[in-house]
Amino acid sequence: MNTAGPPVERIAVCGGGLAGHLTTATLASQLPPSFQIAWIDAPSSPDSDVFYGSLTAPSAYTFNLEAGVSEPELLLSTNTAFSWGTKFVHWGGEHKSWIQCFHLPFPIVGGVLFHHYLKRFGVDELEPYLVSAAAANRGVFAHPLQDGPPILSRAEYAYQFDPFSYREAFAASPHMRRVQRIEGHLEGVERDERGIAALRLSDGRLHTADLYVDCTGTQARLLSHLCDTFAGNRRLCAASNHRATDRLGAPHRTLTGAEFGWQAETPLQRGTARLTVFAPESQTDALRAHGEAPQRSAEATIGSRAAAWVGNCVGIGHSAWVIEPVTHAPMLLLHRDIERLLSLIPFSTQMDFEGREFNRQSSEDYVHAAIFNRALFETPPFADTPYWRAAREEAVHEKLTQKLVQFDHRGVLVTFDLEPFNQEDWTILHYGMGRRPSRHDRVADRAPEAELRNSLANMKRNIENLVKQMPSHHDYMARLLGYLAQNRS
């Protein structure tokens, strides 16, 4: 272990957007008091936060707790709602529709994955056996507690959120009291042989640190001085609006394919968020479909920097990469960036080892998330338009080719180290896109047919009966908020 050089004691987080809020709160919550944390809450193209989308990963519950934000505080202080996942509607040229839901590992019988039994018995649909998909389709919600109904305990949930409201819960974290908050515009960056020597603010002040964390969004106002190589040329625009509604909608966002790109409707506590994503060449058609004038809009290039950590500066979130929010990949990667930074806080100002390891893991994360997103476009295009042409012209990574070929051939789920999307995510995606294995695992033939058919029928019937008894998302949230407000300490 190389610990030469002075110890790292001062950390400066720069950026006032979603990444800046989550990063600062997490560091303040998890690092010992010996670290001095400064947060330079500098304006930094906040509208680009629309590219984080409106859906977290299920890991958000644990991530938020580590940042000092409990679920009750999140629900009471922001516009956040619950989510089983994304409902894709009219996706691609074949107009596929399915629920890309969250779920714990599927049953394994006799060492054989669940979908092989579906293939053996000629069952073409997966959704009837996924309680989270069934609940999403019915618009109902209840916490999948371990001591609750066994079937419901296999579901996983995440959050539907507005990035401009969501971040306020982190600003209010009690751990933020230890943070030196510096408001002002970032005027420039002064460099030295280590990377960054100081941050120059608009009032003439200089701020110095041992480690600089760039959370300035797509502009990467720190990291771009050290790494100006960005791999990616697919340009996308996004427009968002929020409209008030009388009732909370379903616990899923609805993402509908269109010639210009896609449009997502996300029910939140105090209304519905609309996000329209499109190619710049289709702006007129996209904004017409969006309806009202956008309250927020942004444009970004999908891709990643050659390195997220250079010298004494590390980029988090959009400072290092931008990924299309067609899935929950943006928030999943943001969480993993912050957790990775926390695990690699350097011992000294000689931080080459930490930088190399951060970059290795960050690169793998981006590649695997991009592969998952790219799999959505392995279908006839919705239309021969700029958005769909550009999406399908992106190279198919050899890892994706392996995943598609092996699943099509015999239902094998190829996995790689450090993948952020699990086997259940991939199985649901394959079935939703209409992919089915050509043959099943022959070991599945050992199981008695009558017994397994009866088991599948019971599973389907039990899920149907359970979701009929669950409350609507609106009613569940109303009762929960009333209880939480009454018992708020």
Residue type, 362: S
Kindly indicate the confidence band of residue 77, based on its pLDDT and cuts at 50, 70 and 90: very high
Strands annotated E in 204-258: 206-207, 211-214, 230-243, 253-257
Closest CA to 301 of 393, 421, 217, 213: 217
Vertex 302, ends 309 and 166: CA angle to 5°? Answer: 75
| One-letter amino acid for residue 142 of the chain | A
Distance CA 316, CA 336 (A): 10
Q: Residue with structure tokens 């009032």? A: 203
In the predicted model, what is the mean pLDDT of residues 453-458? 94
Residue 81 to residue 308: CA distance in whole angstroms: 32
With a pLDDT cut of 90, the percent of the chain lying above it is 90
Per-residue pLDDT at 468 exceeds 60: yes
Distance, CA of 21 to CA of 208 (rounded, Å): 20
Cβ(19)–Cβ(217) below 8 Å: yes
- Domains of the chain, with CATH numbers? 10-442 (3.50.50.60)
- Dihedral (C-alpha) 81, 87, 89, 95: value to the nearest 10 degrees? 160
- pLDDT at residue 176 tops 80: yes
Is 209:346 a contact under the CB 8 Å cutoff? no
- Residue 402, C-beta contacts closer than 8 angstroms, at least 6 positions apart: 414
Phi, psi torsion values for 105, nearest 5 degrees:
-50, 135
- Tokens matching residue 200: 């120059």
CA distance 384 to 407: 28
In sequence order, what E strands does 111-223 have? 112-113, 158-160, 180-183, 186-192, 195-201, 206-207, 211-214
Among candidate residues 219, 220, 213, the one with its CA nearest the CA of residue 37 = 213
What three-state secondary structure class fits 470?
coil
Q: For residue 183, what pLDDT band results from cuts at 50, 70 and 90?
A: confident
Contacts (Cβ under 8 Å, ≥6 apart) of 42? 14, 15, 16, 183, 184, 185, 186, 201, 216, 221
Mean pLDDT of 331-337: 98
Segment 206-256, tens digit of pLDDT:
999 999 999 999 999 999 999 889 999 899 999 999 999 999 999 999 999
Q: CB–CB of 432/136 below 8 Å? A: no
DSSP three-state, residue 321: strand
CA-based R_g, the chain, Å: 23
Q: What confidence tier does 489 reach under pLDDT thresholds 50, 70, 90?
A: low
Q: What's residue 149's pLDDT?
A: 80
* pLDDT tens-digit series, residues 26-59: 999 999 999 999 999 876 566 899 999 999 999 9
Task: State residue 203's pLDDT score.
Answer: 87
Give the list of residues 6+ apart from residue 146 with CB closer than 8 angstroms, or none.
153
Helix 352-375 vs helix 398-410: angle between axes, to the nearest 10 degrees? 50
In the chain, what is the greatest distance between 2 CA atoms, to the nearest angstrom?
78
Q: How many helices (H) and strands (E) does the chain have?
A: 14, 21
Query: How many Cβ atoms from other residues are within 10 Å of residue 223's Cβ?
Result: 29
Mean of pLDDT over the chain:
95
For residue 146, the model assigns a pLDDT of 76
Which pLDDT does position 488 carry in this prediction?
Answer: 79
The reported pTM is 0.96
pLDDT tens, residue by residue, 388-399: 999 999 999 999
Place of tokens 């930088």: 355
Nearest to 75 by CA among 29, 13, 141, 30: 141
Give the pLDDT score at 43.
65
Q: How far apart are CA 123 and CA 239, in angstroms?
A: 40
pLDDT at 181: 94
pLDDT score recorded for residue 1: 44
Give the mean pLDDT of 51-74. 97
* pLDDT for residue 3: 52
- pLDDT tops 50 at residue 5: yes
Question: What is the mean predicted confidence (pLDDT) over 354-381?
Answer: 96
* Mean pLDDT for the stretch of residues 198-211: 93
Q: How confident is the model over 266-284, as a mean pLDDT? A: 97
pLDDT band at residue 60 using 50, 70 and 90 as cut-offs: very high
What DSSP string describes 80-134? -EEE-EEEEEEETTTTEEEEEE-BPPPPEETTEEHHHHHHHTT---SGGG-HHHH
- Interstrand relation of 85-91 and 253-257 (parallel, antiparallel or unpaired): parallel
Question: Do 369 and 426 form a contact (C-beta atoms < 8 A)?
Answer: no
CB neighbourhood size of 132 (10 A): 30
Token pair listed for 227: 């790494």
275 has pLDDT over 70: yes
The pLDDT of 85-96, averaged and rounded, is 96
Least confident stretch, 104-113, 136-145, 269-278, 339-348: 104-113
In terms of Cα–Cα distance, which of 349, 375, 348 is closest to 91?
Answer: 375
The Cα 420–Cα 157 span in angstroms is 16
